[in-house]
Structure formats: C-alpha cells, structure tokens
C-alpha cells in the first residue's frame, strides 16, 4: 500500500505543470509565518521592557502593536495552512496518493522539489519513478497473495 501511495504522489507531482510555482507558494506562506512571528516577538519584548522600565505611555502603544502583530501572525498561520491544504488536495486528485498522510505527501513533494529546483526538466523522472513504484507495489501484492494462498 505504501508503494502505491508513493507512486500516486509521484504521479501527481509529475503531472503538475506548475509544481515548482506551487511549492514556492507553500514556502512563501511558511516564510510569512516565520516573519510575522519574529515581528510579534520583537514588539512583545519591547512592550515588556517598556513596562519593566515604567514607561507606561510607550507600553500602551506597544501593547496595541502587539495585538495587531498577534492578529497578523494568526492570519499568516491560517494562510499557510490553506496553502498547504490546497496543494495536498491537488496531490490527492491521484487516487493512490490518498493512501498517504499529509505529512508524507509534503515530504515527498519537498524531496522532489530539492532535486528539480534548478533543473525543472528533470521533473519527468518523477513520473518514471511513479511507474517503478507502481510495478514494485504489484510485485509485493502478488507475493503477498501467493504467500496467503500457500497457507
């Protein structure tokens, strides 16, 4: 079953004409979360420092900024998850890919992306690998049936 899942993921990836663009969008959404978190942390630290120093006017201003940065962070997390979910839905259009969990699908996509990022023409190899995994899955299934029949 796992071989079929990997095969399905590879088939889905190989059939995406804009695979690298979609991966860039997923990464950009993740980067936005990191950036928003860093901004939130900086403002929170500055607000805590102002409060500790007794600068309550500055503290109140920074507290409002903290709330705004907190909302920005939450929104970026939601956007990241939507981006990942949309990408995973595309992968799961291939029935065999549905047998894998979302983390495995993302892992396979990132693995392929690292190998084809600078050579997009090599994406066709993912389709060839999908065929190999499909054949391997069939061989294991046949061996399993034969072993079950022998018992």
Q: Mind listing the pLDDT tens digit for each residue in 31-89? A: 999 999 999 999 999 999 999 999 999 999 999 999 999 999 999 999 999 999 999 99
For residue 60, what pLDDT is reported? Answer: 95
The overall average pLDDT reported for the chain is: 94
The first and second tokens of residue 20, run together, are: 């690298």
- Flag whether pLDDT at 148 surpasses 80: no
Percentage with pLDDT > 90 across the chain = 85
Cα 38 to Cα 60: distance, rounded to the nearest angstrom: 20
In terms of pTM, does the model score above 0.75? yes
């Amino acid at each position: 079953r796992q071989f079929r899942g990997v095969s399905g993921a590879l088939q889905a990836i190989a059939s995406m004409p804009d695979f690298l663009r979609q991966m860039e969008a997923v990464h950009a959404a993740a980067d936005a979360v990191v950036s928003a978190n860093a901004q939130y942390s900086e403002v929170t630290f500055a607000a805590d420092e102002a409060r500790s120093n007794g600068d309550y006017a500055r503290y109140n201003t920074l507290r409002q900024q903290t709330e705004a940065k907190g909302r920005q962070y939450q929104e970026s997390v939601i956007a990241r998850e939507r981006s990942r979910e949309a990408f995973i839905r595309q992968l799961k259009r291939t029935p065999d890919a549905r047998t894998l969990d979302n983390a495995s699908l993302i892992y396979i996509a990132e693995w392929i992306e690292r190998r084809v990022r600078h050579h997009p023409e090599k994406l066709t190899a993912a389709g060839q690998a999908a065929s190999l995994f499909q054949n391997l899955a069939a061989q294991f299934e046949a061996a399993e049936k034969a072993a079950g029949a022998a018992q």
